[in-house]
A and B are shown apart, each in its own frame.
Chain A
Amino acid sequence: MNQFIVIKGTPQGLRLQPRSNDWEKVLNALHNSLQDAGGFFRGGRVILELSSQQLLDEATLAALRALVEEYELTLWAVIGGNSTIQHLVRQQGLRTQLPQHTHTTPTPSNTSQNAQLVKRTLRSGQQLSVPQHVILMGDVNPGGELIAGGDIIVWGRVLGTVHAGATGDSSAVICALELNPAQLRIAGLITRSPEGARQRPSLPEMAYIQEQLIIVEPWSGGGK
């Protein structure tokens, strides 16, 4: 762990806890960590958590915002800090408190009811990111990556990586005719297929979050 900043992945988003008032060093450390992560956090939300002694001015906040956006993350909330900071944060249109019950987090508005229909196969090395729901008619091959802000429905085989609710929507689901992904992500949770080849009948399956666990079960159509 870094001496200038602690980064924690939580179901609500990526929590940043600066350990120093030297913002230049903190931002530098954050930059390095995000670079090392190689796009792993992409599409997620960022929560900056300040201690009561921590100071933050407008320019620093703007610099932090620009930095996380460079890695395709969104600064979502700044919690803690003194009242001056809280005022500044609100002015910037950011949250100063997190919703209490994470599993009842309302679906972010940009994922509302819109879906995008895509007809193609995602081959190795290809990535598709969709801000809303996505329906893919085709396969996600090993090494391919499909990311959606909302639900993912694949009329085909999923053998690569899929990430539903990438902006933090833990109510998102992933459905596929054949669900055999290298890795499966919903909101902030990650799971992978069991080691070794799965010899399962290829029937449609649906994945969703229940009590902080990703559950996969046969999909008989409809929602959960």
Chain B
Amino acid sequence: MSGKIITISSGKGGVGKSTTAANLGTALALLGKRVICIDADIGLRNLDVMLGLENRIVYDIINVVAGQCSLRKALVRDKHLSNLSLLPAAQICDKSDLSEDDMVRIAQEAAERADYVIIDSPAGIEHGFRYAIKPAELILLVTNPEVSAIRDADRVIGLIEAERRTPVHLIINRLNPALVRREAMLDADSIVNLLAIELIGIVPEDTAILAAGNRGRPAVLDERSLAGKSFRNISRRLEGEDVPFIPLQTPSLFRRIFGLH
């Protein structure tokens, strides 16, 4: 029985695709699953940095495609969890060096030796996006509570729906409850209402994420991080568990202390 292939996509850049891939991969591994993360952003790799594995890379995905080494040899094992590994992107090549068929072949080979294969898609809706979603059994679409990110997410859903039946689930990343309360940010309900796809996670804005990405130690490894907890919840939902969403709209600390509601 081969593992499940999940592609993390967004359309717009900078919404947190690689952060999501690194954290979900780590969270699933924490649940005891065998996980392989594939960085499909050829030429602009950074999933290795998020996972803190940059200095361990010897081979990359293009070496595997060209038959210069086996998939097993190219995989970089995570330093925290032995059941998590990364297939790095090539940095000196570009996206035209990888075809949709190559991606399907590699993802399926990876799925033979893992419970989950997480593909980190490049931004945009061009060739890189297309080969990244090709092998997917499930697409997790990451968006921010910003009009432009939501517009691009909507466009991506349309493109996916026009071509295939792959289910698409939504992750709203970097939601700031305080800004939502002041009506300065779109709330999760209106986003889900517009995009009309299943919501699988809401990740609050968390400075720990930035620090974690820079240190190469995903926030899910930090018990106190709220964003980390949200990613852990998403991994449990992927496992079929019914996990309630963390209530983010609770009154602020200030209001609670002074009894204002």
Query: Which one of B50-58, B69-77, B149-157, B212-220 contacts A?
Result: B149-157
Query: Which residues of chain B are within 8 angstroms of A97 by Cβ–Cβ distance?
Result: none
Which residues between 120 and 162 of chain B lie within 8 Å of chain A, taking CB atoms? Answer: 147, 151-152, 154-155, 157-159, 161-162
**Nearest chain B residue, comparing its CB with the CB of A123:** B158
**Bound Cα distance from A139 to B190, whole angstroms:** 14
Query: B-side binding surface: helix, strand, loop or mixed?
Result: helix
B152 touches A124 (CB 8 A): yes
Identify which of residues 7-44 in chain A touch chain B, using a CB-to-CB cut-off of 8 Å. Answer: none
In the bound complex, what is the Cα–Cα distance between A123 and B150 (angstroms)?
11
Asked if B196 contacts A124 (CB within 8 A), the reply is: no
Give chain A's interface secondary structure class: loop
B151 touches A143 (CB 8 A): yes
Which residue on chain A has the smallest CB distance to residue B159? A125
Task: Say whether B253 faces chain A, with CB atoms less than 8 Å apart.
Answer: no
Minimum CB–CB distance for A182 against chain B, Å: 11
Q: Is the CB of B155 within 8 A of A121?
A: no
Asked if A121 and B151 make an inter-chain contact with CB atoms under 8 angstroms apart, the answer reads no
Q: Does B194 contact A (CB under 8 A)?
A: yes
Residue of A nearest to B183 (CB): A197
Give A86 to B152 CA distance when docked, in angstroms.
51
- A212: which B residues are within 8 A, CB to CB? none
A142 interface contact, C-beta 8 A: yes
In this complex, which of B152, B158, B161, B162 has the most chain A Cβ atoms within 10 angstroms of its Cβ? Answer: B158
Which A residues, 115 to 131, have Cβ-Cβ distances below 8 Å to chain B? 121, 123-126
Which residues of A line the B interface, CB within 8 A? 121, 123-126, 139, 141-143, 159
